[in-house]
Structure formats: C-alpha cells, structure tokens
Amino acid sequence: MRLTDDRTGSVLLVRSYAPGEVRVGDTVLQRSCLISAERLVDDWRPQTLDELTEADLEAVFALQPEIVVLGSGPRQRFPSPRLLAAIMARGIGCEVMDTGAACRTYNVLVSEARRAVAALLLK
C-alpha cells in the first residue's frame, strides 16, 4: 500500500509498508529500523517486541525525539511497563501500535514538523 506523495523533499518518509517489509525513500528494508525526518537506522538490533531491551532504546534516544511511534509488528502488542517507563522518564511521548499504523502515524507527525521517531519491528 502506497502511503505518501513522492514530492517530500529531504524528509525521510515511509513510502509503503507490507508485512515484513518497509520502504523508506528508495530503500526497502526487511529488518527492524529507526526512522527520523533526517536519519534512517537500518540495522536496529531487536527483530521482535520480545527482544526489545532498555539498551536498544539508546539508539532511539540518540535521535532526540519528542515522540516515539513504536511499531510492534503485525499486530499491536505492548512492551513491558519498564520499557515504556524508560522512554517516558526522559520526557518523551510514546505511542504503541501495529507496524502499519506506526508507519502512517509517523508520516503524519513528521509532515507536521514534529520530532518523531518511528521504531519499527517488522516481525
């Protein structure tokens, strides 16, 4: 499913999403990733929500988001309260949804010039 207009300038947007795959610009990813308006981290370690640790969140924090949109995989699942608390303790908002919804939400937030990071788990 195509998600965005191709005329987006230099802002990184999710162009399409399918189960197990996301396209950012011309790059097709089949692994978990982090996306901000300016940067794509295409080798984020956790591949599933169960693998996500506090140490993995350091890469998210390095992108200095005001809000994190966590795509939990093909269906909405919530991480442990400890992980959500680690995000919120830094004054960062967090929304958890399935990865397709996270892609769409991230695009809207970035188009509104919000400092959003999409943390997308594809499995």
Q: What is the pLDDT of residue 10?
A: 84
Q: Is residue 2 part of a domain?
A: no
Instruction: Summarize pLDDT for 90-99 with one digit per residue, the tens.
Output: 999 999 999 9
Residue 85 lies in a domain: yes
Full residue range of the structural domain in which residue 91 is found: 14-120
pTM: 0.91
Length of the chain: 123
Q: pLDDT value at position 4?
A: 47
Please report, for the domain that includes residue 78, its CATH number.
3.40.1230.10
- How many domains, in total, are found in the chain? 1
**DSSP state letters, 12-53:** --EEEEETTEEEETTEEE-S-EEE-SS-EETT-S--SGGG--
Residue 31 reports pLDDT greater than 60: yes
For residue 7, being part of any structural domain is answered with no
Confidence at residue 7, expressed as pLDDT on a 0 to 100 scale: 45
